[in-house]
Amino acid sequence: MINRIDTAALRARAAKRRRKWLLAVLAACVLLAWAAMMGVMALSGAASYYRTPGEIGYEDRDGAVRLRLGGYVEKGSVVYGEGARVHFRVTDCQASEPVVFNGVLPDLFREEQGVVAEGRFVNGAFVADTVLARHDERYMPKEVAEKIEHTVCEGAQGQQ
């Protein structure tokens, strides 16, 4: 008896193997795309963008985006409320924004001093959960410190 090789069956098996391999590659690509999308979404939620009061736009005021609001504490604007609540205004000499902070302010916090408040807008006021004084360079990103340094208000301190 002569063994006959069924070429149609061989071709069918090869096509089946190729289909399985193609499905595995496709599944791996979908999984990688999903993981990349999840990573981007996680990072975008944790990011906070630096703005001065003059750079604040309508899209920043909806409270969906975390921001770092930087500039100088406006002279005469600091009002201490109940407990640890403090109201003050941050200015870049072009515009100013009201800030509400509930916590302990840094030792170097004072009027006409460089400051960065981190938080989000709620009902028209910037509600900060972190406040850094300009000279807290250990805790302030270099680009933020440089941007404040280049904003010069007449009579403002914080330049060195």
Query: Which amino acid belongs to residue 130?
Result: T
SS3 at position 40: helix
Residue that the structure tokens 């909806």 belong to: 62
**Cβ proximity of 140 and 132 under 8 Å:** yes
121 pairs with which residues across the strands? Answer: 126
Residue 139 marked ligand-binding:
yes
- The partner residues of 130 in beta bridges, in order of sequence, read 118
**Pairing state of beta strands 49-51 and 67-73?**
parallel
Q: Which residue has the tokens 């963008």?
A: 49
Summarize the annotated binding site for heme as residue ranges: 135, 139
Summarize the annotated binding site as residue ranges: 135, 139
